[in-house]
Amino acid sequence: MSGHEYLGKIPEGLNYTKEHEWVKLEGRTAKVGITDYAQHALTDIVFVELPEAGKKAVQFKPLCVVESVKSVSDIFSPISGEVARANESLKEKPENINNDPYGEGWIAEMNVSDSNELKNLMNSAQYKDYLEAKKK
Amino acid sequence: MELIFEKSVEGRKAVQLPELDVPFQKEILPQDAMRKDLELPEVSELDVVRHYTALSRMNFGVDNGFYPLGSCTMKYNPKINEDAARLSGFSMLHPYTPEEFSQGALQVIYELERYLEEITGMDAFTLQPAAGSHGELTGVMLIKKYFKSIGEKRSKVLIPDSAHGTNPASVALCGFECVEIKSNKEGEIDIDDLRLKLSGDVAAIMITNPNTLGLFETRILDIAEMMHNNGSLVYMDGANLNAIVGIARPGDFGIDVLHSNLHKTFSTPHGGGGPGAGPVGVKNHLKKFLPKPRVELEGGKYRLNYDLPDSIGRVRAFYGNFGILVRAYTYIRSNGWGGIRAIGENSVLNANYLKEKLKSHYHLPHDKICKHEFILTDKELSNGVTTGDVAKRLLDHGSYAPTIYFPLIVPGAIMIEPTETESKETLDWFAGLMINIKEEAETNPENVKNAPLTTQVSRLDGVLAARKPVLRYKK
Amino acid sequence: MHYIPNTEKQKKEMLDAIGVSDVLELFSDIPKELILKGRLNIPPAMSELEVKRHMESIASKNKTGVSFLGAGAYNHFVPSLVNHLILRGEFFTSYTPYQPEASQGMLQAIFEYQSMICALTEMDVANASMYDNSSALAEAAIMACRIKKKNKILLSKTVHPEHREVVKTYANANSIEVVEMGYEDGITSIDSAENISNTAGFAAVLVQNPNFFGCIEDMEKIERFAHENGALFVVSVNEPTSLGLLKSPGDCGADIVVGEGHSFGNPVSFGGPFVGFMAAKEEYMRQIPGRLAGQTIDKNGKRGFVLTLQAREQHIRREKANSNICTNQALNALAVTITLAAIGKELKNLAMQNLQKSHYAKSLLKKKGIEIIFDSEFYNEFAVKLENMEKSKERILKNNIIPGLDLDRFYPELKNCMLVCVTEMNTRQDIEKLAEAMGE
């Protein structure tokens, strides 16, 4: 993913990875997904290989796979923990990720093992700077 | 258009077999071993002929018009090759026919290997692989076995970022790790990046020369030397051999193992996606690892030698796509040494001529001598018209589209390979089309963006096809 | 002769337009020392007439005609319309349908091919073709290991020996362990498997049906064995005309089915080009290697076909692709499609004729006192034991018939045994002549 003009929405209150995943911490659980920038770069998403409930996730290691017409991409977990549930709506409507990447397009809900890991991630301002630097 | 299944009428038949001429034996197989239904079409012979004739008319081949698909070498497929392959002595010959009765077939294999060795400058060939990527896989297996035989554990293969997707796929299939090498501004392998990534763990580099940008790797001798000094091997993807046949030989510029594509350089037909053949050539130090069997000539007789203890084994049953080998053999015999040289000269002449005609109208990332193909991009097109749009608009004018969006390192790439069998008038005509489309992008962009407008179907929804795959007919 | 249309005059015009005086200047990017000075050491050009004569003379050194050879290459009836249709230039000289709007003919034909393979095998999804049965089987083994995340497979010794060799070549390259299962009375012996499989789990059980000896495997037993052990049941159909009669692999519970399609519309041609097929259950759709043609609609809602799920293929996924396959066997697949469209439900009759003729041959040979070495039921091939293999082959050849295959070539334990194949192409007279020659 390079050479893009489109930065997309970057909501505050979320944390972001260099590989364009987001995480929203809600107490001991977190929701994860991919950013607006990512969904735009992938173009139309056709299939999501959802992670299974109970799967152990490690920060920055592959969590699941997202397939678009153009590519099949690994999604890396922004945080360590255990998958509580995956967004089953993506089975019928993978395009939810394109249409609403931070809302209905969430991919998995996790039980977080160490919320301190958030310090390894960027906040919305930092992610915005990161994308602008990539543009050049 | 309806599917052949949708044209079924119960009870209709196209084929009638002779009456059974042996006494009928009852109940040979138990009932529970037999199938119940057989959901195949029930149509008449005329139905079949009309249906597939109609389908053919919704298709486009070299026989219809210009097909400048870069990297595929869509040259004219001589009909004499067809006649040769269909001689009953070839087409009706069973692969296990005793050797003394298949001397003609063994001769074709033997002699074709020799011709390919001479044309490429390699020491030995195997004709078993069924396609280019199959040849790549075979080549990588040879490399793997070579290092095993000298007791060295090397796990990496270097691949330029401009490589065809089959290269890293073939490498990964053999358990090697792919390490990407950057291309420089001139469109060739970045030697400094290569030097950086070279290590004792590197088994080989997999290059394409001329490369996928249509350029000759001018520093190939240095690259080969660096690799050999490192104890590594050089693999060449021979998809672009058409540019240099009769002019230069990979075996002379340091290649240890290569594959060639008979359905590209050697005119065997593309068939809508195969069959092809991907013979693999090697230098002597890899010869003993070649797949078995090998055809040998002894005392005027050809024989099959299976006694090859160091061979990697078989990569397919029998001997290869023999019917394709007959076609390539016929082609090489028709052309002779003079014709082969003319192929190299004219494929490069045609490409450079076409490039000259288009370079002031389209963005040309590398303004220098090309080989048999060249790349333009959509960078200077107005109104957001893209490479994809240009390709679709060409279809409206009776030309097939060039290869698009490959290689990945050139955004919006349009890869044009005319081949040597196209005339100057065709090239002038195509240049005219491309220039028209550029102008249309300025004055009437909607025409280009909505193309194709005159084909059987308009732009097809690829997203729907991938989201809700329907891959077969269901009643 | 060559196929270059431009005259010397035109070439000069083109050189002028480029701004060079000699075509060799266009090769100045190649180091001078690499440019060939002399001629390639291959024969000089020939005119079409000379080439024709030359090829005819080589072809005449091969012996074809009445034959009882099978063993993975089968002589079957090809309706005359097949060649007339596949030779149409629009099919023949086209390439991969990357521009679907101009290639609807080929794409629809591929979709029909996929549909016919599904109908024959009674599986959910099939790809656009593979090189041949042997490489399809090897790819199925790799696919099974990827799905089950294991690296061991059980392969029956009754699978075609050359196919097994190819599976082993691919397996070696992928660090997959291949364990072979023995046979008894011509079919796979599960008991031998049960002894050797008691260690780590295996990803798949691979068998061929009908097998190399022509025998019909106990599919029920093997399916149960595979699935009880959490392995995939992979079936190879080397002689798919058998599917006109036999219970389909899908109906037998197969997870992946591969096979050789050449029996439909493609001559034996000394072993190639052939055409592999692969089909699988719906849940494995995204794991299948190779191309897939899918149905969709255009901007106006009209039905059309495209290559789909390409993101898993080499040209996009590159080193993480399911396979490296690119060019496949499209034209041979087209011949399969047209042949199956023409034969249709008459395939049942064709298969029945194969069964009847082979069993007639068996009864004649039995009457001559020749031993039929396996009791297991068979389709159109069976193995016999001869007193003197060389003498029998000589006599058969004297009658201008090509004898069956020496089995000890692949199975040293089967000395003086011959694999005899009888198809609808062998007449009653052929069979009786064979029996006469063998019975002396």
* Domain spans, chain C: 66-77+345-439, 80-344
**C contacts of A47 (beta carbons < 8 Å):** 286
Domains in chain A: how many in total? 1
Q: What is the mean pLDDT of residues C27-47?
A: 96
At residue A2 the predicted structure's pLDDT band, cuts being 50, 70 and 90, is: very low
The C-alpha atoms of residue B304 and residue A80 are separated, in whole angstroms, by 60
Instruction: Over range B380-409, report the average pLDDT.
Output: 92
DSSP track, B128-173:
--SSHHHHHHHHHHHHHHHHHHTT----EEEEETT--THHHHHHHH
Cβ of A71 and C311 within 8 Å?
yes
What are the start-end ranges of the E strands in B190-334? 202-208, 233-238, 257-260, 280-282, 294-298, 301-305
**B396 and B350, same structural domain?**
yes
> How much is the pLDDT for C326?
63
3-class DSSP assignment, residue B205? strand
User: Does this model's pTM top 0.90?
Assistant: yes
In a domain, A82, yes or no: yes
Q: Which of B9, B60, B87, B110 to mutate to test the interface with C (most CBs of C within 10 A)?
A: B60
With a pLDDT cut of 90, the percent of chain B lying above it is: 88
> Which candidate in A72, A73, A75, A91 is best for mutational testing of the C interface (most C CBs within 10 A)?
A72
Least confidently predicted of B141-150, B320-329, B364-373, C305-314: C305-314
* C62 touching B (Cβ < 8 Å): yes
Chain A hits for C317, CB-CB cut-off 8 Å, are 71-72
| pLDDT, position B470 | 94
Tell me whether residue B94 is in a domain: yes
Burial of B284 (0-12, 13-18, 19+ CB in 10 A): exposed
- Per CATH, C66-77+345-439 and C80-344 having the same topology is answered no
pLDDT, tens digit, for every residue of C125-184? 999 988 899 999 999 999 999 999 999 999 999 999 999 999 999 998 888 999 999 999
Q: Please tell me if residue A65 touches chain C, with a CB cutoff of 8 Å.
A: no
Chain C residues near residue A70 by CB distance under 8 angstroms: 311, 316
pLDDT for B271: 85
C residues 317-376 near B, CB within 8 Å?
317-321, 323-332, 334, 337-338, 340-350, 352-353, 355-357, 359-360, 363
Task: Please report whether residue B437 resides in a domain.
Answer: yes
pLDDT reading at C310 higher than 80: no
Specify the higher pLDDT residue, C291 or C214: C214
Beta carbon pairs, A and B, within 8 Å: 15
Residue C61: is its pLDDT beyond 60?
Answer: yes
Does residue C321 surpass a pLDDT of 70? no
Residue B470 belongs to a domain:
no
Spatial strand order in the sheet of A62-68: A45-49, A62-68, A72-76
Q: For residues B283 and B395, state if they share a domain.
A: no
The pLDDT, as a whole number, for residue C311 is 67
Q: Is C320 on the interface with A (CB under 8 A)?
A: yes
The answer to whether residues B346 and C7 touch, using CB atoms and an 8 Å cutoff, is no
| Cβ-nearest to B462 among A3, A67, A69 | A69
Judge whether residue A1 has pLDDT over 90. Answer: no
**Residue C340: phi, psi to the nearest 5?**
-65, -35
Best mutation target, C146, C287, C312, to test chain A (most A CBs within 10 A): C312
Q: Considering the domain C80-344 in this protein, what is its CATH number?
A: 3.40.640.10
> Could you tell me what percent of chain C has a pLDDT over 90?
84
- Would residue A69 count as lying in a domain? yes
Amino acid occupying residue B261: N
How many CB atoms neighbour CB A27 within 10 A?
7
CA distance C423 to chain B (A): 12
DSSP for residue B123? S
Q: How far is A72 from chain C (nearest CA, A)?
A: 6
Q: How far does the CA of residue A131 sit from the closest CA of chain C (Å)? A: 24
Q: Which domain holds residue A19?
A: 12-28+47-107
Residue A136 pLDDT class (50, 70, 90 cuts): low
Overall domain count for chain B = 3
pLDDT at A41: 87
Tell me, what's the pLDDT at A135? 72
Express as a percent the part of chain B with pLDDT over 70.
100
| Whether pLDDT at C313 is above 80 | no
Q: Is C296 on the interface with A (CB under 8 A)?
A: no
Q: Are residues B191 and B83 in the same domain?
A: yes
* Residues B233, B249 share a domain: yes
Check: CB of residue C142 under 8 Å from CB of residue C114. no
Q: Tokens standing for C26?
A: 């266009």
CATH number at residue B444: 3.90.1150.10
Chain C CB contacts of B35 under 8 Å are 122, 243, 245-248, 251
What is the 8-class DSSP label of residue A118? G
Which of B247, B270, B275 lies at the smallest CB-CB distance from C332? B275
What is the token pair recorded at B8? 């079924």
* Least CB–CB distance from A3: residue in B411, B462, B467: B411
A71 has a chain C CB within 8 A of its CB: yes
Residues B153 and B277 in one domain: yes
Q: Does residue B127 fall inside a structural domain?
A: yes
Task: Tell me the nearest-neighbour CA distance from A67 into chain C, angstroms.
Answer: 7
CA neighbor of A90 nearest in space, from A46, A52, A121: A46
CB contact under 8 A, C316 and A47: no
The enclosing H or E element of C298 equals none
Q: What is the pLDDT of residues B166-214, one digit of tens each?
A: 788 888 888 899 999 999 999 999 999 999 999 999 999 999 999 999 9
- Yes or no: say if B208 and B135 are a contact pair by the CB < 8 Å rule: no
Q: Are residues B348 and B320 in the same domain?
A: no
Q: Is there a single domain that holds both residue B109 and residue B161? A: yes
Asked if the model's pLDDT at residue C246 lies above 70, the reply is yes
Q: What local confidence, expressed as pLDDT, does residue C324 receive?
A: 64
Mutate to test the interface with A, among B379, B463, B464, B471 (most CBs of A within 10 A): B463
C315 touching A (Cβ < 8 Å): no
The residue in chain C having the minimum alpha-carbon distance to the alpha carbon of residue B451 is C101
Which CATH number goes with the domain that contains A23?
A: 2.40.50.100
pLDDT (mean) for C362-367: 96
Q: Is C317 on the interface with A (CB under 8 A)?
A: yes
Instruction: Tell which of B96, B99, B302 to mutate to test the C interface (max C CBs under 10 Å).
Output: B96
CA distance C198 to B210: 53
Does 3.90.1150.10 match the CATH number of domain C66-77+345-439?
Answer: yes
Contact B463 A67 (CB under 8 A): no
Does A91 contact C at CB distance below 8 Å? Answer: no
Mean pLDDT confidence for C359-382: 96
Q: Rounded mean pLDDT of chain C?
A: 93
Domain that holds residue B188: 79-335
- Average pLDDT for B212-239: 96
The pLDDT value recorded for residue A73 is 86
For the beta sheet containing B403-404, the strands, ordered from the edge strand earlier in sequence to the opposite edge, are: B374-376, B414-416, B403-404
Across the interface, whether the CB atoms of A46 and C311 are under 8 A apart is answered yes
Mutate to test the interface with C, among B38, B167, B467 (most CBs of C within 10 A): B38
Answer whether A72 sits within 8 Å of C311, measured CB to CB.
yes
Inter-residue contact C130 to B321 (CB < 8 Å): no
Let me know if residue A6 belongs to a domain.
Answer: no
Contact at CB, A47 and B463, closer than 8 angstroms: no
Which residues of chain C have a CB within 8 Å of the CB of A71? Answer: 311, 316-317
Cβ contact (<8 Å) for C312 and A47? no
Q: A30 CA to chain B: closest CA distance, Å?
A: 28
Cα end-to-end span (Å), chain C: 54
AA letter at A87: N
**Do residue A46 and residue B466 have CB atoms under 8 angstroms apart?**
yes
Chains contacting A with at least 3 CB pairs below 8 Å? Answer: B, C
Query: Minimal Cα distance from B410: which residue of A?
Result: A3
- Write out pLDDT tens, residues A47-76: 999 999 999 999 999 999 999 887 788 899
Of B453 and B126, more confident:
B126
- Does residue C440 surpass a pLDDT of 80? no
The Cα of B33 is separated from the nearest Cα of chain C by a number of Å equal to 5
Is A128 a domain residue? Answer: no
